[in-house]
Amino acid sequence: MTEVSWTRWDFSNLDTVGSSRVDGVQDPIGYKLTMDDGNAAGKNKSKTANQELLEKKAWEVAVAPIQSVGMNFFFLWMSGSSPGIFTIMILGYCLTSIVGQFAKANAAFQNFKTIDTTLQWLAYLALCSVSLAYLLYHMAGMGLLPNSSGDWIALIPNVEVIETAGGVVK
């Protein structure tokens, strides 16, 4: 049987922070290991990085309505243009979902008080409006919305004829 040799590990040649070369080897491109000294420039850099991260997350919240109703619109497209029980149920679900998204428009951006989210809020409302417009278009195509004059015929008042004509046939 061979005997295991226990040797002591040597860490003396490892790269230390701040040195750019170890045994003539340079750092890879884009990789530089340095310590942050905590000066004001570093604080401003992290503050702008946080602002950029918040803006990115605000845009993710702004486009969330169109992502959440994509599957519902696929169901509507697959259901066709004839009104049936399942189509009506899907329409109701989509309508409540879109109205709920309109209702929580202000609450969606409460976490982003430190940045201006006006543009993201407008994009959120625009995407909700596009979703609602497509839903109403689909409902009108199915004949569930009164959009022609024949749908309002019950509201047209009847005209009473006052004069009558009569004739004699011999």
Mind listing the pLDDT tens digit for each residue in 51-82? 888 888 888 888 888 887 788 888 888 888 88
On average, the pLDDT of the chain sits at 80
**Average pLDDT for 156-163:** 87
Helices (H), 19-151: 40-62, 64-68, 70-79, 85-103, 105-108, 118-142
pLDDT bin (cut points 50, 70, 90) of residue 152 is confident
Domain boundaries, the chain: 63-142
Phi, psi angles (nearest 5°) of residue 35: -90, 140
pLDDT value of residue 8 = 78
Q: Determine the pLDDT at residue 83.
A: 83
Q: Residue 151: what pLDDT?
A: 83
Of 107, 99, 97, 92, the closest CA to residue 69 belongs to 97
pLDDT at 65: 82
149/94 Cα distance (integer angstroms)? 27
pLDDT given for residue 126 in this prediction = 92
If you ran DSSP here, which 8-state letter would residue 25 be given?
E
Predicted pLDDT of residue 129? 93
Provide the pLDDT for residue 19. Answer: 52
Output the pLDDT for position 10.
72
Identify any residues that bridge with 22 across adjacent strands, giving them in sequence order: 25
Q: What is the pLDDT of residues 97-146, one digit of tens each?
A: 999 989 988 888 888 888 888 898 999 999 999 999 999 998 998 888 88
Give the pLDDT score at 52.
Answer: 87
Res 111: pLDDT: 83
Q: Is 27 exposed, middle or buried (0-12, 13-18, 19+ CB in 10 A)?
A: middle
Q: Please give the backbone phi and psi of residue 25, each rounded to the nearest 5 degrees, phi first.
A: -100, 125
Whether 18 shows a pLDDT value over 80: the answer reads no
